[in-house]
Structures are given as C-alpha cells and as structure tokens.
Amino acid sequence: MKLSWEDGDAGKCIGANLRQFRKNKGLSIESLAKQIGVSKLTLIKIESGDGNPTLSVIWKIANGLNVPITTLLSIESDVSVARKKEGLQLASANEALVVEPLFHSHGSFELYRGYLQPDSEYLSEAHQSGVIEYVTVMSGQLTIEIDGDTHHLEEHDSIRFIGNRPHKYINPTASLSILHFVISYHIL
C-alpha cells in the first residue's frame, strides 16, 4: 500500500488517528495546540485531512500525544515490504531531510529510511524522555551534533544517543547521505 501526500491517503490517515488519539486523551484541539506549540488552525487542517504537516510538526504531535509517529500512520499488514521512495515521505520544513517510515511497530520502536540532501543540515527538536536514536549511515557521510559534541560518521558507521535534547544532522558533502534510523521508546 502506497501512501503519499498527493493522493490524500496519508493526510486522511494521520488526521483520523490524530483526532482519535487526541479525544482518547481527553484533549481539545486548543489544549493540544498550546501543549505542543502548533497552531490550532494547523491541527484543524491536519485532522480534516487537508494539512500537509512537516516532519517537525508530526514529531511535535507524536511527542505531545506520547505515541510513535508510525502509530499516527497505522500502516498494518501481516507482511509488508518497504520499497525505497514508494511509501509515505515526511520532509523537514527546508526539505533538507526526508524520511520514510518503514513499518508500524506497535509502540516500542520505529524504523525509518532517511535522505539528507548534499551540503545541508536538519535540527531535530528534543524528543520525549526515554527516546533513544540509533542511526546508521548506509551511503555517504553524516555529522551529528549532540550537546556541543560533534560525531562524524562514514558509510556503515552507526551511532546511538538519547534523543531528549536537540540534535543536528549535517551532510558535509556534495552527495546525498542515505540513513537508517531506529527510534526506540523506553518511556519512563
């Protein structure tokens, strides 16, 4: 099953799930908007399936509802194949980073394929407490800044870090960097 923003399936799926999770937690649109720092109008558009949220907005919603992003997508099947660039793609506001959620994980972890554009960077906001990120460079290079420390990774290098603080992904080269992310939720 291919979900894309163009045909509206992904937006409708996220909107319906957002509405359900928000109501299950007893939150109004206004209270969720205030809690996560996203405008009420943006949340209304997303819930109606008319919004085109950025990766940052999706993270804020998931963190605010205390659910993994893939839970908002609710892509489920007994057997799933995640082919590159055929599934849902979530982009950062500046489109420097595009990630493809690979499978619905039922809450303990998420898998993503990521594409960091040449000579670009993406600043990730802090995730909820208990989130651990694992990143492997599949192709290209990656520099990650965490708490003032810089870590440079080559092809097939991996890094693990606690994600509850801002961190920056940097592609210092003129070539696309392809990344594999595992986001683990050990919510306290």
Does some domain include residue 40? yes
pLDDT of residue 6: 44
130/164 Cα distance (integer angstroms): 7
When the pLDDT of each residue in the chain is averaged and rounded to a whole number, the result is 84
Does some domain include residue 84? no
pLDDT tens for each residue of 140-187: 999 999 999 999 999 999 999 999 999 999 999 999 999 999 988 875
* Residues 78 and 104: beta-carbon distance below 8 Å: no
Residue 133, beta-bridge partner list: 161, 183
Where among 73, 106, 123 does a domain terminate? 73
pLDDT of residue 144: 97
pLDDT band at 1 (very low <50, low <70, confident <90, very high): very low
- pLDDT higher for 147 or 78? 147
Does some domain include residue 159? yes
pLDDT band at 104 (very low <50, low <70, confident <90, very high): low
pLDDT of residue 150: 97
157/9 Cα distance (integer angstroms): 35
Residue span of the structural domain in which 96 resides: 90-185
Within this chain, do residues 114 and 163 fall inside the same structural domain, yes or no? yes
Number of domains in the chain: 2
- The CATH code of the domain that includes 109 is 2.60.120.10
Within this chain, do residues 105 and 69 fall inside the same structural domain, yes or no? no
Q: What is the pTM of this model?
A: 0.62
pLDDT band at 111 (very low <50, low <70, confident <90, very high): confident
Does some domain include residue 83? no
Highest mean pLDDT among 50-54, 58-62, 76-80: 58-62
* Residues 142 and 153: beta-carbon distance below 8 Å: yes
| 125-150: average pLDDT | 93
Q: Which residues contact 47 (CB under 8 A, 6 or more apart)?
A: 15, 16, 18, 19, 22, 29
Within this chain, do residues 103 and 65 fall inside the same structural domain, yes or no? no
pLDDT of residue 168: 96
